[in-house]
Structure 1
Amino acid sequence: MNAQQGPGCNSYDNCPRGGEAYYGRICTNSSGGRLNVRTGPGTNYRSVTQVPNGTTVPVFDRASGQDGQSYTWQRINYNGVQGWVRSDYVCD
C-alpha cells in the first residue's frame, strides 16, 4: 500500500501522546485498500486486523517506530481492537 500524502503525524505535528483522542481517517491510494493494524509501533509486530480505506478511527497515542525505520506510528481503536498504524496513512 502507498500512503496518500496527508498531514499524518510526525515529530513536528501536534498529535496526541497518551492524552485525549482525536479522530483521523485512514487514507490509502486505493479506494478498496486496507491498512494493517499491528500489536506495536513497527512492521516487526504482527497484524491483528485491517482497516478499510476511508474509515474514521480514534487516535490515542503516537510513538516512533521500534523496527529500525524512521516512521511515526499512531495507536488507534478499530471495532474494539486497539493497535498501531503508520501515521502517514492517517489523514485529518
Structure 2
Amino acid sequence: MTHPETTVGELIALLSDCDRSAPVRQAMNPFFPMAHRLAQVVQSVDETGRTVVYLAEGKDEHTQLGHLPPEVAVALAWQGPVQAPPRRPRRTAGGK
C-alpha cells in the first residue's frame, strides 16, 4: 500500500495562504506532540531515482521548541478535543 505524498507544488500552494513573515516549524511525533524549528530544505534522489525534498530540523539544542499547542494537535487529528470535566457544586465548611 502506497501513501500519497505532498509535492513541492502542493506545499507551495498550501503555504501561499499563510503569513509570509511567520516562522516555519515542524509538528512531530503524534504520541508526544512537539514543535521543532525548521532549519534546512534538502533536495535528493530516493532509491527509485525520484527527486525528493526533505524539510529538516536544526542540530542545536534550541531546535525543539516545546509541546505542540493543543489546538494544533487536534487539527492534525493527533489527539481529540479535551473538554473540562463538569463542575460539581462546592461543599460548604459545614459539610452540606
TM-score, length-scaled by structure 2: 0.30
Q: Comparing both structures, which one devotes a greater share of its residues to helix?
A: 2
Query: RCO (CA 8 Å, sep 6+): is it higher in 1 or 2?
Result: 1
- For the pair shown, which has the larger CA radius of gyration, 1 or 2? 2
TM-score, length-scaled by structure 1: 0.31
Q: Comparing both structures, which one devotes a greater share of its residues to strand?
A: 1
